[in-house]
């Protein structure tokens, strides 16, 4: 498919004809990287299916190979889950949602154009929208949320209900988007919520944990086990770099997604140095940003203001 895209780019309109100049052509072309991705965040900014398809069209023309679909965040949970119907209480509105058929449609459309769809279920942070329908899986930290906002709300790592819900959601999304890779999120888990939560503090005492990094290590490893069961053992699982930086130890087959310099746990002098640290520890890496934020096409960072 990407070879056909190369051939199509030789064609130009001339009067009422399509012409290819300079024949004959001999083209040798191959991708340097297998993962040539674009992350789309349709939680903060809902994107209708037709707009997602336009994005996929553009990716196919540029020979990008992976649509990283960040489908939930603390602002909204727009997936109309068949197994967890109350999840939609966290959507912006009743019409700004993706049905299972919508997800399958996007995946099929992308496959026909040589683009894979890698789903992301971002946890334990960036998940406050889950609490609209399932408050029992959220950590009890009302003062943190009141002072700092919903971004600081974190899932309850102590409750079996949390892992049961995640397992059901992973299984459903994984069946709809059966890519070889699945992204488990893990970025920007703010310690303040767990430090306030009496439930988490009691759990830390019972487990002999001294820091919230140990709580995160517990959560991520249990979440990883849930994901392997829900998605099947042949999936390659990915997480954001903060999981590594927060002293979480995961198996070597987990891939880390590097997107930023610096974080609360470890000061990262540069993205190349961050990559070197992670690779040295035995993991593969996806590079998701430039050292100055120039690939972060948001309106508040990098070149989004230019």
The four Cα atoms 137, 143, 149, 155 give a dihedral, to 10 degrees, of -20
Cα-Cα end-to-end distance for the chain: 33
Active-site residue, 136 included? no
Using CB atoms within 10 Å of the CB of residue 266, give its burial: 0 to 12 exposed, 13 to 18 middle, 19+ buried.
middle
Q: Which of 28, 143, 188, 210 is catalytic?
A: 188
The four Cα atoms 2, 6, 8, 13 give a dihedral, to 10 degrees, of 150
Distances (CA, A) of 113 to 20, 174, 183, 225: 23, 20, 22, 33
Cα–Cα nearest to 45, from 1, 87, 76: 76
Looking at the annotation, which residues are catalytic? 188
């Amino acid at each position: 498919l990407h070879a056909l895209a190369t051939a199509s780019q030789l064609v130009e309109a001339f009067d009422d004809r399509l012409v290819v100049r300079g024949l004959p052509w001999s083209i040798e072309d191959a991708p340097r990287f297998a993962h040539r991705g674009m992350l789309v965040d349709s939680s903060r900014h809902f994107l209708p299916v037709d707009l997602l398809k336009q994005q996929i069209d553009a990716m196919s023309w540029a020979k990008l190979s992976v649509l990283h679909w960040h489908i939930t965040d603390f602002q909204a949970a727009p997936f109309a889950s068949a197994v967890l119907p109350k999840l939609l209480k966290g959507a912006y509105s009743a019409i700004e949602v993706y049905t299972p058929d919508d997800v399958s449609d996007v995946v099929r459309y992308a496959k026909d154009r040589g683009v894979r769809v890698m789903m992301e279920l971002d946890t334990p942070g960036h998940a406050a929208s889950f609490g609209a329908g399932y408050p029992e899986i959220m950590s009890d930290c009302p003062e943190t949320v009141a002072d700092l906002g919903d971004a600081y709300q974190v899932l309850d790592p102590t409750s079996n209900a949390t892992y049961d819900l995640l397992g059901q959601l992973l299984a459903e999304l994984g069946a709809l988007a059966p890519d070889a890779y699945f992204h488990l999120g893990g970025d920007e888990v703010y310690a303040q919520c767990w430090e306030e939560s009496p439930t988490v503090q009691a759990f830390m005492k019972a487990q002999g944990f001294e820091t919230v990094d140990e709580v995160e290590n517990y959560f991520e490893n249990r979440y990883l086990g849930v994901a392997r069961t829900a998605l099947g053992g042949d999936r390659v699982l990915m997480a954001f770099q903060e999981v590594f930086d927060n002293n979480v130890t995961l198996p070597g087959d987990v891939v880390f997604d590097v997107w930023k310099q610096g974080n609360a746990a470890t000061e990262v002098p540069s993205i190349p140095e961050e990559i070197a640290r992670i690779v040295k520890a035995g993991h593969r890496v996806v590079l998701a940003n430039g050292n100055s934020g120039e690939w972060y096409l948001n309106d508040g960072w990098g070149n989004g203001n230019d």
